[in-house]
Amino acid sequence: MKHGSRTSCPWDLDQFGGVARYVSHWSWARADGGPGHCFPAGHASAAFAFFGGYFVLARRVRGLARWWLLAAVVGGLLLGVTQQMRGAHYMSHTLWTAWLCWTTALLIDRTCQWWRSRAAQAALSSQALL
């Protein structure tokens, strides 16, 4: 997504000495005149990517899963806020990155559950034939 993004970072905006003008990062077809490639937030995603661990732990160690999730959220927000203070991202970039990482982890988890249930059904069906 980042390589296809035409959204420039805040430090690239003309009001901060850059060449870009503000355009919403959801306006995929509109260029802002800057270098782009600033959405989603890469540093924050390094921590938000650990959302997947929550789904694994939630089936086995529920209490640890909550702490894992809290650590991923806090880590992502800290990295995101740090980048915002540098002028590299907007808060919306960090929050949308969290949503993208959560949704990706959720979809992977649900897909794996679906495959496991199909495999279990297939195993039961083959046992019934014996």
DSSP annotation string for the chain:
-TTT--PPPGGGBGGGTSSB----TT-TT---SS-----S-HHHHHHHTTHHHHHHHHTT-HHHHHHHHHHHHHHHHHHHHHHHHHTS--HHHHHHHHHHHHHHHHHHHHHHHHHHHHHHHHHHHHHHH-
Global model pTM greater than 0.75:
yes
> Which residues 6+ apart lie within 8 Å of 2 measured at CB?
37, 38, 39, 40, 42
In order along its 130 residues, the chain shows pLDDT tens digits of 888 888 899 999 999 999 999 888 778 788 899 998 998 999 999 999 999 999 999 999 999 999 999 999 999 999 999 999 999 999 999 999 999 999 999 999 999 999 999 888 888 777 776 6
Look-up of token digits 């540093």: 43
